[in-house]
Amino acid sequence: MPEVRFDRVEKRYGHRPVIRDFSLTIREGEFFTLVGPSGCGKSTVLNLVAGLEPVTSGEIYFGDRPVTYLSPKERDIAMVFQSYALYPHKTVFENLAFPLRLRRVPQGALQGEVQQVASLLGLAGLLAKKPAELSGGERQRVALGRALIREPQVFLMDEPLSNLDAQLRVQTRAEIKRLHARLKTTTLYVTHDQEEALSLSDRIAVLNKGAIQQIGTPMDIYRCPSNTFVAKFIGSPQINLVPGRLHPGPPAHLDVGPVQVALVRDPALQADSPTPANSLDVLVGIRAEDVLIQGTPESLPGHSASVVDREPAGARSWVTLRWGSAEIRAEASSDFLMPQNHSVGVAINTERLHVFDAASGARLPWIALPPKRQHGYK
């Protein structure tokens, strides 16, 4: 089970670039997810790995073996399609057996392997049926089984869950995760659902318009989005992006909404960019769970906001607040019942705020000064 490596892969349809300067290494046995909005090129990447479409330039390697110009068969990959793509004229048994028949697996071994995969996925009772007689969830499992059966080098999944209803989706997601933990096959998974990506993956690449925006573990990407696109795409509800102004100082500080936050250079990012001489417009990313509603405005002077709207969501509520000139979303407990226009106190968990260049959207290497030292500046 090799790693999968893309070396500056490009794909154009005519003159329209779909994938640009795509370099990426998926480690051996890793569950790697490509996530992005529809039309970002993520399915095209899958087709390039599968050999269903030729690359325009660049190379793809499985381990040390270049596979760029090999046929799908020679690449030894398996793929689960969004539409499942079961063969309608074949029974479940024949659907599962098809990849083995093409490899001339002898009848006895074939029977055994089909039975084994069928029992692994709970399909044993369905082997004689045609795909048309199955429910959506069953079809999905047959598609999974057909991909699993010959122990491929690389496992490709193209939005395999998006045709399932919500409940079944969560259930199958857990099943896929368990299967991967057991089989440890290098897996490239494509989805537009950021929640799916966060919950399944070892690592994620966020794609937009054919270009990689960020690669990292789910936590990296959630905690430290590299630009406003990633910040907005990952996380639900969407991150608050509040216009602010960064003053490089010294002392460096940030005006956002009605508050001022002291900043330091982020030690985690290399500070190769020079400190700007003048103050500049920024977008400040604040996740809803980092906006804390605390009692009355009097208890936190200068940190007041008024309630615009409430959306109860079971265990918690999402509250939209007017905060200075901006509107932000906050997470509140489900018993938050303040009416519209009511004033509340708001505290921002400044340690978790993100500063982006307003013009380019790129993350700026500044973080809030830890709270203890924050006081020293006041």
Residue closer to another protein (CB basis): 69 or 87: 87
Any contact of residue 83 with another protein (CB under 8 A)? yes
Backbone φ and ψ for 95, nearest 5 degrees, come out as -60, -45
Any contact of residue 79 with another protein (CB under 8 A)? yes
Q: What is the closest distance, in whole angstroms, from the C-beta atom of residue 347 to another protein in the complex?
A: 51
Q: What is the closest distance, in whole angstroms, from the C-beta atom of residue 106 to another protein in the complex?
A: 16
Any contact of residue 69 with another protein (CB under 8 A)? no
Any contact of residue 98 with another protein (CB under 8 A)? yes
CA pair distance 194, 186, nearest whole angstrom: 20
Residue closer to another protein (CB basis): 104 or 378: 104
Kind of pairing, strands 186-191 and 154-158?
parallel
Of 159, 215, 218, 153, the C-alpha closest to 187 is 153
CA pair distance 207, 213, nearest whole angstrom: 6
- How far from the centroid of its chain's Cα atoms is residue 269's Cα? 22
Any contact of residue 52 with another protein (CB under 8 A)? yes
Any contact of residue 81 with another protein (CB under 8 A)? yes
Any contact of residue 183 with another protein (CB under 8 A)? no
Q: What is the closest distance, in whole angstroms, from the C-beta atom of residue 202 to another protein in the complex?
A: 23
Any contact of residue 146 with another protein (CB under 8 A)? yes
Q: What is the closest distance, in whole angstroms, from the C-beta atom of residue 144 to another protein in the complex?
A: 13
CA pair distance 352, 240, nearest whole angstrom: 12
Classified as helix, coil or strand, 56 is: coil
Residue closer to another protein (CB basis): 47 or 199: 47
Q: What is the closest distance, in whole angstroms, from the C-beta atom of residue 185 to another protein in the complex?
A: 15
Any contact of residue 50 with another protein (CB under 8 A)? yes
CA pair distance 110, 299, nearest whole angstrom: 72
Any contact of residue 99 with another protein (CB under 8 A)? yes
CA 176, 181, 184, 187 torsion: positive or negative? positive
Any contact of residue 73 with another protein (CB under 8 A)? yes
CA 331, 337, 341, 344 torsion: positive or negative? negative
Within 13 Å, how many C-alpha atoms sit on residue 275's CB side? 14
Write out the residues near another protein by the rule CB under 8 A. Answer: 47, 50-52, 71-73, 77-79, 81-85, 87-89, 98-99, 102-103, 146, 156
